[in-house]
Structure 1
């Protein structure tokens, strides 16, 4: 097919802020996990799907699997709080309150 470009699992974007490999990157409503370090304004490849362990709002309990998970772009963590955040994933594991990280599957 002549209009096919790529699978889209990994895409290149301009880093909106300094990011370390494994960090979350939000560009508009496009979210992914950085595959390498990048300074703000540099190009960075991000994975837009897959399963990751990443920092979450520590003071939240994720009591069941399959919760809607949002990206808190101010604190650069996953959260179950929808207000002012972007829906990006579902959780795949229960996480206690407190706990520093959660396991999520990106919506892609």
Structure 2
């Protein structure tokens, strides 16, 4: 195909905010995990598919298959969409009790 650009599972974009390797990147409707660290505006590779272990709100009791959101202010995954303020990130691929600090999240395509 002459018009094929890339598979899209990894994207190189300008970092919308300073990010560390393994951190969540939200750029409009692009959601993913940074493959490296970058300053604002610097190019960063963003992985847009897969399952990642991410820190979560300690009080959240997350069930298997639950929709999870990203609270950018706290840099944590949560089950609370905060009236649309938090960005949907994906689904939990495991249960994570309120006593745990992280959860495995499958990124969802939007």
Task: Determine if the TM-score, normalized by the shorter chain, exceeds 0.5.
Answer: yes
1:43-91 Cα offsets, whole Å, 9 max, x none, are 10010010010111111011x2100111111112111111211112000
Matches within 5 A, 1:1-80: 1-62=1-62, 64-80=63-79
**Would the aligned equivalents of 1:57 and 1:77 in 2 still touch at CA under 8 Å?**
yes
Looking at structure 2, the residues matched to 100 and 5 of structure 1 have their Cα atoms a distance apart, in angstroms, of: 38
Where in structure 1 are there 5+ consecutive unaligned residues?
A: none
Looking at structure 2, the residues matched to 88 and 2 of structure 1 have their Cα atoms a distance apart, in angstroms, of: 32
Give 1:29 deviation, angstroms.
Answer: 2.0
Looking at structure 2, the residues matched to 3 and 71 of structure 1 have their Cα atoms a distance apart, in angstroms, of: 34
Give 1:96 deviation, angstroms.
Answer: 1.1
Give 1:98 deviation, angstroms.
Answer: 2.7
Where in structure 2 are there 5+ consecutive unaligned residues?
A: none
Aligned to 1:97: 98
Looking at structure 1, the residues matched to 73 and 13 of structure 2 have their Cα atoms a distance apart, in angstroms, of: 19
Normalised by the size of structure 1, how large is the TM-score? 0.93
Flag as ranges the 4+ runs of structure 1 deviating above 6 A. Answer: none
Normalised by the size of structure 2, how large is the TM-score? 0.91
Count of aligned positions: 107
